[in-house]
Amino acid sequence: MKKIVISTGGGDAPGLNAVIYAVVHAASSRGWEVYGSRQGYMGLLDTDELVRLTIKDVAEITSTGGTILGSTNKGNPFAMPVENIAGDIQIRDVSDRVMKNFLRMGFFCHIAVGGDGSLEIAHKFAVEKGMNVIGVPKTIDNDLEATQLSFGFDTAVSTATEALDKLHSTAKSHDRVMVVEVMGRDSGWIAMNSGISGGADVILIPEIPFDMDLVCQKINDNQLHEKHYAIVVVAEGARAKDHEVMTKGDGEIGRSEKILGGIGRWVAEEICQRTGKDTRSLVLGHLQRGGSPTTFDRLLALRFGATAVRLAEEENFDHMVALSGEDMIAVPLEQAIKCRKKVPIDGDKVLTAREIGICLGG
């Protein structure tokens, strides 16, 4: 009997449980056993954290947010934060231990569900340790170039759009400018999609460094047209011209990426000072990661999970499942993690935003 292990790494996203559900059902139909590794690779570091997954175990989880296996942003086995005898935290390479447990448990394939960071780790295991790996793309930022869409994105955009819809009424009641900071890191997909759909006056994205003079001009123009409030959507990775991207520091030990944030508050303060308008800022933050996945994300996640098992059966390892048009395809992991997908500044969404009167700051 073949045995596979599935892990969910990086930030959580609506649809993770649907992937697990599909993997368990597709594998069980082939007579395979499925195990889940808790908290990313922790189950492969300590086999007490491995959990057997049966069809009964995953019943009715497709509609729930989060992941029943848990996840982590600081679980890279090639650079794992480990506490020594003195209580100090050291960064150690424990990848050999992971591979040893993988082989000892008799797994023939690891299905790694994650974003670019998690998939880079999976690719490293495939190349350097010989692990049979299949990747499943997971990112609410929709920034993986190799797949047309990733699950979690649609839900995150829906959450942000709903928030913008509600902010219109309170902004209008008080003649305020509401600045909303959304996730996305170096890509502006969430800001662009929710901003257009949610009737924003201004959308600021990482792909277009913005000029505060143009932003304030748009808000003042609203006044001339008897609109005394405004909605401004800012991607967390957006930056003003001649400024750096704002961060909150390096974050926790074992986390490679800097934590972005603070641009929404800065934009709000600049608007208040330059226009005199009553201005408030709001960070949606992890609201965008939570909640039940939309119908689109559930279906996409189920398709990803089922396809991952098919790739495992075909022994098409060191590849990632990807959506291409209406089809599911296999993309080499090396290619999948090569670059991040950006909002094309001459694309239809940017053109649409400009033509319906939305200011992009540049």
How far is the C-alpha of 98 from the C-alpha of 111, rounded, in Å? 14
How far is the C-alpha of 156 from the C-alpha of 294, rounded, in Å? 9
- DSSP label at residue 240: B
Q: From the annotation, which residues make up the binding site for ATP?
A: 11, 74-75, 115-118
Beta strands (DSSP E) in 38-158 are: 50-53, 80-83, 89-92, 107-114, 133-137
CA distances for 282 relative to 230, 234, 261, 287, 358, angstroms: 14, 10, 11, 12, 20
Q: From the annotation, which residues make up the binding site for Mg(2+)?
A: 116
Considering the candidates 12, 48, 57, 141, report the single residue annotated as catalytic. 141
How far is the C-alpha of 237 from the C-alpha of 245, rounded, in Å? 6
- Judged on CB neighbours under 10 Å (0-12, 13-18, 19+), 242 is exposed
| 141 is a catalytic site residue | yes
How far is the C-alpha of 5 from the C-alpha of 107, rounded, in Å? 7
CA distances for 60 relative to 7, 72, 116, 193, 278, angstroms: 19, 24, 28, 30, 46
User: Is the Cβ–Cβ distance between 138 and 151 less than 8 Å?
Assistant: yes
- Give the residue among 210, 200, 159 at the shortest CA–CA distance from 183: 159
Q: From the annotation, which residues make up the binding site for substrate?
A: 139-141, 176, 183-185, 236, 280, 286-289
- Written as six digits, the tokens of 11 are 């930030």
User: Is the Cβ–Cβ distance between 179 and 235 less than 8 Å?
Assistant: no
How far is the C-alpha of 331 from the C-alpha of 329, rounded, in Å? 7
Q: Could you list the active site residues?
A: 141
